[in-house]
Amino acid sequence: MTLAAAGQQPQQGLSWINVAILVLVIAVCWPLLQRIRKKARDSRRARWAREDAEHEARLRNHPEPSDPRKLPGDPD
If pLDDT is split at 50, 70 and 90, which confidence band does 12 have? confident
Residue 25 CA to residue 27 CA, distance in Å, equals: 5
- Interval 21-71: pLDDT, tens: 999 999 999 999 999 999 999 999 999 999 999 999 988 887 666 666 665
C-alpha distances (whole Å) from 39 to each of 36, 43, 53, 68 are 5, 6, 21, 45
Q: What share of the chain is helix, strand, coil (3-state, %, to 5)?
A: 65, 0, 35
- Model confidence at 4: pLDDT above 80: no
**Mean pLDDT throughout 3-12?**
63
Question: pTM score, two decimals?
Answer: 0.52
